[in-house]
Amino acid sequence: MVKTPVTSITFEEYLTYDDGSDFHYELVDGKLELMNPPTIEHFLIAKFLEQLLDAEIKRCNFTWLCFRESGVRTGRNKSRLTDLCVVTLEQARELLNVSAVFESPPLLVVEVVSPESVKRDYRYKRSEYAVLEVPEYWIVDPLKAKVSVLLLEDGFYEETVFTDSQQIVSQIFPELRIIVDQIFTAGNLNQERRD
């Protein structure tokens, strides 16, 4: 039996909250917001990017880790679930045996846009990640076939949009070679699969 979510909850309560379901929630101003299950396209894009970032971390011998669907505390009673985030090994060690909700800024956050997450990814998360001082934030938008790379400068994000056959430019991963079309092809089951 699934209980109705509580109406008000603290960040500390959120870390151990369990309503007996497999639902995922974000914490927004002390309220639980239910996250809809992602589409297959969303899963495939996130998986492709996770594998790509893992390979680049290994190739560069960085002491970083890439996580899917971990949390990031963005305010006193706010916590967002990321599609992907890259953190240092030290940040991961701090959460080894507790809920994977990072309270210090990840090096990179990646969100894959879904029809119901447009405002959340482009507006709310953008401002919250800037306040938290996440140095780089990617908005991967299969709805518009574009990737927005936001780099933090003086507390605000400077945005560069990449489309089609353009190569994404990242400060966190300066040697990364990825073309926008490759990302969206990964989410298309009609294309020949190589993974």
CB 42 within 8 A of CB 187: yes
By DSSP bridging, strand 64-68 and strand 84-88 are: antiparallel
Banded model confidence at residue 34, pLDDT cuts 50, 70, 90: confident
Element (H, E) at 158: strand 156-163
- Range with the lowest mean pLDDT among 48-52, 166-170, 178-182, 188-192? 188-192
- pLDDT at position 167 over 90: yes
Q: Which of 112, 107, 11 is nearest to 69 (CA)?
A: 112
Q: Is residue 130 part of a domain?
A: yes
Residue 5 has a pLDDT of 54
Q: Which of 64, 34, 68, 36 is nearest to 50 (CA)?
A: 68
CB 109 within 8 A of CB 137: yes
Q: Is residue 87 part of a domain?
A: yes
Q: Is residue 33 part of a domain?
A: no
Query: How many C-beta neighbours within 10 Å does residue 194 have?
Result: 6
Q: Is residue 4 part of a domain?
A: no
Enter the pTM of the model. Answer: 0.89
The mean pLDDT of 171-186, rounded to a whole number, is 96
Residue 59 structure tokens: 């190739």
- pLDDT at position 183 over 60: yes
Q: Is residue 129 part of a domain?
A: yes
CATH number of 69's domain: 3.90.1570.10
Banded model confidence at residue 7, pLDDT cuts 50, 70, 90: confident
Q: Is residue 17 part of a domain?
A: no
**Structural domain range at position 174:** 38-186
Condensed to tens digits (0 to 9), the pLDDT of residues 78-102 reads: 999 999 999 999 999 999 998 899 9
The mean pLDDT of 133-147, rounded to a whole number, is 97
Number of folded domains that form the chain: 1
Buried b (16+ CB within 10 A) or exposed e, 96-129: eeeebbbeebbbbbbbbbbeebeebbeebbbebb
Residue 13 has a pLDDT of 85
Q: Is residue 93 part of a domain?
A: yes
By DSSP bridging, strand 146-153 and strand 84-88 are: unpaired
Q: Is residue 32 part of a domain?
A: no
Q: Which of 16, 22, 46, 35 is nearest to 81 (CA)?
A: 35
Residue 20 has a pLDDT of 83
